[in-house]
């Protein structure tokens, strides 16, 4: 009865809030009536009816159930362009008279620039150069001078002709060394945090800075001290992770050309509009004097939001030369200066009861993003589980290394590895099944369903049998051990305010959709076309999607899983309004009220009469009808988190230390998927990147010289085709009730738990507990005491 009264009280409060919100919307839009509708929310088969307030002009959300076009699998629309080489990437751009740009980079980790002698460049035909004017370099690979020449070979020759005098200064390049009071300072004064479009939103309050340590930034919830006092036991685990570089297939690049006083750019970018805004700001140009195109980008995992110094150099060199300039970084530059996922040191202290319930968590992290900020890893511990009390302290540590930046789910893979390693250790200490312990601390209805689905798919019930088989293998002298591991994923619903989409209907029946969003590989053309095709009753191939141009309506930067969640509701709004306009035209043609006209398979019908789509379009009053859809504000009340549960199966050779991932089951929700093929592809890509992070990727720096020793893809190891396991993506049908299409992104979630699930599977297989990434053969052998620990790089 008490529970029932509490629920009734909640319902009354919710009704009050709905009334308040209705008043707010009416005030914001004078004369516009807000529409209140019922929507089914929750897991399919277990939905509840909820009243939500629609913004004026926003269509009602999709009802529960299958739809004719969206939510299905299909080939990507731009597939033929990509497989035939017709897709134009920035590296492919060629113009008559075009110059090739290169950057002279510091060979030192820390030095004063005493002199730059570029006199030889003035004698070289067709060469222009730009000196940024800095007097100190703070990392190996920092830009010292940029130039452009008629060919790339000529540009390389020109670089070798420049003479730079350096006064080499002391440096610090490791997290542990940089934290010491005696360590050389990277910055002489406090540094402000700069954020990019891919970062997790958070408070930007000023933080203390002592030496090279900036922080701690404190956050959390609940009474942690009380939680520890109520605990029946305490467990503490420390984990570390290495720097992971982005390694996109297409390196950072930008083509710049001045047409009169307008700068026209093609960029390999995750943010058409952020590149435009940055170039306009640096070059002091009106935004309408900068045009940025980015139809195809060869990969972007968080490092390609702005123009970067390389892009600014390209624009300035093009201005000086009066010719187009292409700046394309090479692979070494990509590793040294184009961004990375910061490394981390994480301490997790758990208070727990003997039934596996966590009562409190104290979490501390340090990380280095080189000369940048943003190394916090505490988001996961605060968001993933229902821990009642959490205290987080996060600190940046500056080093003389290239800047870190946003990388696919910033901070979360590191934080997930730390927390899930601690939970696995707790389960072992209590003699509990690891999944049972997680369910004891996981209140999310969505993820509890995901745990159940994933456990069945991976065959979690085999785990005890696998343990016995491993014991038998050891007794028989066989080196192979099998293991199962699991880990949770959490991410968030972010929206780019102001996103708009134009649907253009032409009198010949042509349909065009316009938005300035870039394609970084996820293929947004296809889901955009699917939504419009469904609303207009046309084949998907009839929809011409035009993206990647800053002259089109504003679109989101592709980071933080924001793209689809921001665009699709705007696309649907535009398509619904376009259909309504066509129904009005068709009603006159068919002699029936618009409410009685049906549009299906490209045909309008009413009262036994029909009219084809093209015929109705031919009756438009003008040559073209343009309808704009706006991304309305999200509805209140729904959980903004996106959940997931992943399971990994591994085989470890205890004689060689080699761990091989055999199978990964990745169960995720992203609201209602528009294009299942694309969603499943994103999940597979996230899993592959997570396995690579778990087992292979590690930047190696020489502490004496401060130089990166493996800025390439020969010695910076990434996962290859032979390391690729069977990946089983499973989508949970979920209606979150946040927007008119129940749309959410999926770019980040699959990367978050993969490394942790792999590590936990290795622990099950071998009985050792990996606490450092990557889990290399040498580290496994050291933990198995097959090689001395001193021979393994920390």
Q: Which residues are catalytic?
A: 748
- In three state form, how does the secondary structure of 674-742 look? CEHHHHHHHHHHHHHHHHHHHHCCCCCECCCCCCECCCCCCCCCCCCHHHCCEEEEEECCEECCCCCCC
Using an 8 Å Cβ cutoff, are 505 and 625 in contact? Answer: yes
Using an 8 Å Cβ cutoff, are 342 and 401 in contact? Answer: no
Nearest alpha carbon to residue 727 among 647, 642, 644, 645: 647
Question: How many beta carbons lie within 10 A of that of residue 181, not counting itself?
Answer: 8
**What does the angle CA 517 – CA 523 – CA 525 come to, to the nearest 5 degrees?**
65
Distance CA 705, CA 701 (A): 8
Residues 6 or more apart whose CB falls under 8 angstroms from that of 96 comprise none
Using an 8 Å Cβ cutoff, are 151 and 126 in contact? Answer: no
Q: 3-class DSSP state for residue 637?
A: coil
Using an 8 Å Cβ cutoff, are 479 and 655 in contact? Answer: yes
Q: State both tokens at 492.
A: 């968030």
Of all helices (H) and strands (E), which one includes residue 661?
strand 659-668
Q: Which residues lie across from 35 on neighbouring strands?
A: 54
Numbers of helices and strands, H then E, in the chain: 19, 32
Q: 3-class DSSP state for residue 626?
A: strand
Nearest alpha carbon to residue 327 among 90, 121, 100, 147: 100
Find the largest Cα–Cα distance for the chain.
90
Look up tokens 């920035």; give the residue.
Answer: 90
Residues 6 or more apart whose CB falls under 8 angstroms from that of 585 comprise 616, 617, 619, 620
- Angle between helix 463-476 and helix 754-766 axes, rounded to 10 deg: 50
Residue ranges of alpha helices (H) inside 462-550 are: 463-476, 525-536
Nearest alpha carbon to residue 118 among 146, 138, 153: 146
Residues 6 or more apart whose CB falls under 8 angstroms from that of 235 comprise 349, 350, 352, 422, 425, 426, 429
Of all helices (H) and strands (E), which one includes residue 365?
strand 358-367
Nearest alpha carbon to residue 464 among 502, 433, 501: 433
**What does the angle CA 394 – CA 395 – CA 399 come to, to the nearest 5 degrees?**
150
Using an 8 Å Cβ cutoff, are 310 and 141 in contact? Answer: no
Look up tokens 């299906």; give the residue.
Answer: 600
What pairing do the DSSP bridges indicate for beta strands 344-352 and 233-241?
antiparallel
Q: State both tokens at 165.
A: 């005098």
């Amino acid at each position: 009865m008490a529970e029932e009264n509490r629920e009734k009280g909640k319902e009354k409060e919710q009704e009050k809030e709905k009334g308040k919100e209705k008043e707010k919307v009416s005030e914001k839009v004078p004369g516009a009536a807000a529409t209140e509708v019922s929507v089914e929310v929750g897991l399919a088969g277990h939905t509840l009816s909820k009243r939500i307030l629609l913004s004026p002009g926003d269509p009602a959300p999709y009802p529960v159930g299958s739809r004719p076009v969206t939510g299905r699998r299909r080939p990507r629309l731009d597939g033929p362009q990509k497989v035939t080489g017709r897709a134009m990437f920035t590296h492919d751009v060629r113009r008559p008279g075009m110059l090739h740009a290169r950057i002279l980079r510091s060979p030192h980790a820390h030095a004063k620039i005493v002199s730059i002698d570029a006199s030889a460049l003035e004698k070289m035909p067709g060469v222009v150069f730009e000196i940024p004017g800095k007097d100190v370099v703070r990392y190996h690979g920092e830009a010292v001078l940029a130039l452009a020449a008629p060919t790339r070979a000529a540009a390389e020759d020109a670089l070798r002709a420049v003479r730079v005098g350096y006064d080499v200064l002391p440096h610090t390049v490791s997290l542990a060394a940089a934290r010491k009071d005696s360590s050389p300072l990277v910055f002489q004064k406090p540094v402000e945090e700069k954020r990019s479009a891919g970062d997790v939103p958070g408070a930007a309050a000023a933080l203390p800075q002592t030496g090279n340590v900036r922080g701690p930034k404190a956050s959390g919830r609940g009474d942690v001290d009380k939680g520890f006092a109520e605990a029946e036991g305490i467990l503490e685990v420390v984990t570390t992770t290495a720097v992971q570089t982005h390694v996109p297939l297409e390196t950072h690049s930008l083509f710049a050309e001045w047409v009169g006083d307008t700068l026209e750019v093609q960029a390999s970018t995750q943010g058409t509009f952020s590149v435009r805004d940055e170039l306009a700001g640096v070059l002091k140009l009106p935004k309408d004097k900068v045009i940025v195109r980015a139809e195809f980008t060869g990969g972007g995992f968080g490092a390609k939001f702005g123009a970067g110094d390389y892009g600014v150099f390209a624009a300035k060199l093009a201005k000086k030369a009066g010719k187009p300039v292409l700046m394309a970084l090479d692979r070494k530059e990509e590793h040294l200066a184009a961004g990375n996922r910061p490394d981390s040191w994480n301490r997790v202290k758990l208070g727990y009861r003997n039934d596996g319930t966590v009562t409190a968590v104290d979490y501390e992290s340090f990380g280095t993003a080189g000369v940048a900020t943003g190394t916090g890893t505490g988001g996961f511990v605060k968001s993933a589980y229902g821990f009642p009390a959490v205290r987080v302290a996060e600190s940046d540590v500056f080093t003389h290394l290239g800047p870190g930046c946003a990388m696919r789910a910033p901070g979360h893979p590191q934080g997930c590895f730390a927390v899930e390693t601690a939970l696995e250790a707790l389960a072992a200490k209590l003699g509990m099944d690891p999944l049972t312990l997680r369910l004891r601390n996981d209140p999310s209805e969505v993820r509890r369903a995901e745990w159940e689905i994933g456990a069945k798919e991976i065959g979690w019930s085999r785990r005890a049998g696998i343990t016995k088989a491993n014991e038998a293998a050891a007794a028989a002298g066989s080196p192979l051990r099998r293991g199962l591991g699991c880990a949770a994923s959490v991410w968030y619903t972010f929206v780019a305010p102001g996103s708009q989409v134009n649907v253009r209907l032409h009198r010949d029946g042509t349909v065009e959709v316009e938005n300035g969003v870039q394609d970084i590989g996820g293929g947004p053309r296809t889901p955009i076309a699917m939504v419009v095709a469904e609303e207009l009753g046309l084949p998907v191939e009839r929809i011409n999607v035009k993206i990647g141009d800053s002259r089109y309506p504003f679109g989101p930067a592709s980071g933080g899983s924001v793209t689809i969640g921001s665009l699709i509701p705007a696309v649907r709004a535009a398509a619904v309004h376009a259909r309504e306009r066509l129904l009005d035209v068709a009603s006159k043609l068919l002699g029936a009220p618009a409410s009685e006209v049906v549009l299906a398979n490209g045909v309008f019908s009413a009262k036994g009469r029909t009219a084809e789509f093209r015929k109705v379009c031919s009756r438009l009053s003008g040559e073209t009808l343009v309808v704009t859809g706006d991304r309305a504000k999200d509805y209140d009340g729904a959980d903004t988190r996106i959940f997931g549960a992943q399971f990994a199966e591994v085989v470890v050779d205890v004689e060689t230390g080699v761990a091989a991932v055999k199978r990964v089951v990745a169960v995720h929700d992203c609201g209602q998927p528009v294009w299942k093929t694309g969603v499943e592809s994103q999940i597979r890509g996230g899993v592959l990147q997570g396995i690579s992070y778990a087992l292979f990727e590690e930047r190696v720096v020489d502490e004496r010289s401060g130089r990166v020793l493996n800025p390439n893809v020969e010695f910076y190891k990434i996962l290859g085709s032979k390391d690729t396991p069977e990946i089983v993506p499973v989508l949970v049908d979920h209606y979150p009730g946040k927007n008119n299409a129940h749309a959410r992104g999926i770019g980040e979630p699959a990367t978050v738990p993969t490394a942790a699930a792999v590590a936990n599977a290795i622990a099950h297989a071998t009985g050792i507990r990996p606490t450092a990434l990557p889990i290399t053969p040498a580290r496994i052998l050291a933990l198995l005491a097959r090689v001395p620990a001193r021979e393994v790089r920390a």
